[in-house]
Structure 1
Amino acid sequence: MSSPSSRRAFLSGLLATGVGLAGGRAEPVLASSQPLQFGLTPVVLDDRIAFLEAWADWIERQFGRPVVFVQRSRYREILDLLLQGRLDLAWICGYPYVRNRSRLELIAVPRFRGRPLYQSYFIVRADSQIQRLHDLEGRLFAWADPDSNSGYLYPRFRLTGDGRDPDRFFRRTFFTWGHPRSVEAVAEGLADGAAVDSYVWETLALGHPELTAQTRVLERSPEFGFPPIVAGPALSEPDRHAIRRVLLSQVQDAAGRALLNELNLDSFGLETTDLYDDIARMAGRLAGGDGA
């Protein structure tokens, strides 16, 4: 069992900003080609740099161009880079996707436990006396990121639906800037509760059960479209088709399947944009619109 300090180091490492992974890799197959810039928000990985280098190499072999992963800790930073044309594609949350889907194209959606769906988990400490969501009233609560569906939009929508003001319901709130940090904040008693991505919590439970064992899932949301991989305006139409084919075929390749296993995913699938309509409706209702 790892120590609390090693856990903190692991979780802090997940959220390091400004990581570009081209530097330590071998020369790309097509050294003169423009690299594919692939943006990531924090993901749960035991050995992030080694894994992403292996995944970049695999995509590069299939795609025929060098691949550079660019990682940021805040969703907004990745979205801004994508919309500015400084990234070609990115793995983002469904909430920023629905707010910008006129400028973004859905490339592929991960399948987790056989489906392109995930949930928001409200979590508390395992030894907490809190038994229902309303018991968190007047407590300290951790949001993940203001552009997160599971870590911000849905929990606010859930409270509003009960006639509660999410800005007044808790005694105090703070942003952790990452779902792993939200889990850690609850586990270590820095927050009484949090709302986190079910995929992140379940993946942490596989790799770091000593951390998630200190928390308890209080309530699960309905299912929503899994955070998608999307293309920004900088990626050409032929490259959009090509990278989609690469991701959709990853499960059919032995090395590709091994990489998916490390991500705790089954495959990437082709989905339609209406997979995210529930998130769009929640965002519209909270903003006072019709949710379209």
Structure 2
Amino acid sequence: MLNRRYFLSATVAVLAMSATAAHADDWKSKYKELTFAVIPAENASGVSDRYAPFMDYLSKELGVPVKLRIANDYAAVIEGQRAGNIQIAYYGPASYSTAYMTGVKLEPFVTTRNHDGSVGYYSVIYVKADSPYKDIHDLKGKTIGFVDPNSTSGYNAPRFFLHKIGLDADSFFGKSVITGSHENGVIALDKGTVDCAADWWNSDTDSNLTRMVNKGMVKKEDFRVIFKSGLLAGSPYAYLSDLPPELKQAIQKAFVEAPTKDKAAFDRLSDGKDLEFVPVTHKDYETTVEMIQFVNDMRKKRS
């Protein structure tokens, strides 16, 4: 009798587990594949090389193909999620905030922790190392390279933090140029197209500049930081709000476990400079939303 009861209990448990597993995979009938998009922090080939191993890892963990979409600009990622064509996206805090403020139904779920334990990064303004400029005030009337109106470190943060020290970007600089990507901004500065360029910076050994140096594109000693912002919120990964709860849970789980399950793919995302993924919610970006609203209001007053 004991063996029969045990057999029945075990059978019920197995059936329950099977039913739960089947329910958890129900989303696969709707989502035969998922699309993952990244804002253009670097050129297209750089994005592809950096994210390809991670796409393979996500495809394996989720059980459906995850395809990388390389966007031409920040707006393309925002509009792709608005249309429901991009299920997962990597944003900067500003582009995420813009998407949220303009009605895109999305939820941030993770960002990265830096190797020093901090979460977040900075906006800096670079000049050429051999330039005569010693202080940000020396750049009055000069040309600045901004990345994209939806970039945090490359547009919104420098405007916001310059305003905090009494400098209005539009009247202070003689001209501004939209470079389209962080790499393009550094290249424009290197070639003399602009006198200074806004960019992102985690530390002296982890920045867009150091990544370009690692790829042999520029020399680190040719540039120096002349202005640095306050700490910004970490760049979020966000999925569509209307994705099935089981799919959201599976995506977040895959991200959080990536440093353990596929360290090589995880390390490739940041050249080994990030420690782990950490959960975030919209609340972590409320201050960024306020910053973007402030910058938008400033722009409207001048239009």
User: Between the two proteins, what is the percent identity of the paired residues?
Assistant: 24
Deviation at 1:287, TM superposition (A): 4.0
Distance 2:255 2:266 in 1: 10
- Does the 8 Å CA contact 1:73/1:178 hold for their aligned counterparts? no
Identify the range of structure 1 (201-210 vs 121-130) with the bigger mean alpha-carbon deviation: 201-210
Equivalent residue runs for 1:148-163 within 5 Å: 148-163=151-166
Q: Tell me the alpha carbon deviations over residues 7-53 of structure 1, each in whole angstroms, 9 at most, x when there is no partner.
A: xxxxxxxxxxxxxxxxxxxxxxx999611110111245885434433
Task: Determine the structure 2 residue equivalent to 1:81.
Answer: 80
What is the alpha-carbon root mean square deviation over aligned residues?
A: 2.4
Distance 1:108 1:251 in 2: 13
Identify the range of structure 1 (49-58 vs 129-138) with the bigger mean alpha-carbon deviation: 49-58
Pair 44,263 (structure 1): closer, same or farther in 2 beyond 3 Å: farther
Task: Determine the structure 2 residue equivalent to 1:277.
Answer: 286
- Does the 8 Å CA contact 2:109/2:238 hold for their aligned counterparts? yes
- Does the 8 Å CA contact 1:137/1:170 hold for their aligned counterparts? yes
When the two structures are superposed, what TM-score results if normalisation uses the length of structure 2? Answer: 0.77
Deviation at 1:166, TM superposition (A): 1.6
Distance 1:96 1:209 in 2: 26
- For the pair 1:190 / 2:193, whether they are aligned, the reply is yes
Distance 1:44 1:76 in 2: 15
Distance 1:112 1:44 in 2: 19
When the two structures are superposed, what TM-score results if normalisation uses the length of structure 1? Answer: 0.80
Aligned partner of 1:36 among 21, 34, 38: 34
Distance 2:211 2:46 in 1: 14
Deviation at 1:132, TM superposition (A): 1.1
Distance 1:128 1:184 in 2: 16
- For the pair 1:259 / 2:265, whether they are aligned, the reply is yes
Distance 1:106 1:124 in 2: 33
Compare CA radii of gyration and give the structure with the larger one: 2
- Does the 8 Å CA contact 2:233/2:285 hold for their aligned counterparts? yes
Q: Which runs of 5+ in 1 are unaligned?
A: 1-29
- Which amino acid letter does the alignment assign opposite residue 78 of structure 2? L
Task: Determine the structure 2 residue equivalent to 1:225.
Answer: 233
- Does the 8 Å CA contact 2:162/2:168 hold for their aligned counterparts? yes
- Which amino acid letter does the alignment assign opposite residue 110 of structure 1? T
Distance 2:235 2:59 in 1: 23
Q: Tell me the alpha carbon deviations over residues 127-172 of structure 1, each in whole angstroms, 9 at most, x when there is no partner.
A: 1111111111100110000001111111111232233332121111
Q: Tell me the alpha carbon deviations over residues 92-138 of structure 1, each in whole angstroms, 9 at most, x when there is no partner.
A: 11112223436211121122333321100110011111111111110
Task: Determine the structure 1 residue equivalent to 2:6.
Answer: none
Deviation at 1:238, TM superposition (A): 1.7
- Does the 8 Å CA contact 1:224/1:278 hold for their aligned counterparts? no
Task: Determine the structure 1 residue equivalent to 2:95.
Answer: 96
Distance 2:217 2:85 in 1: 37
Task: Determine the structure 2 residue equivalent to 1:59.
Answer: 58
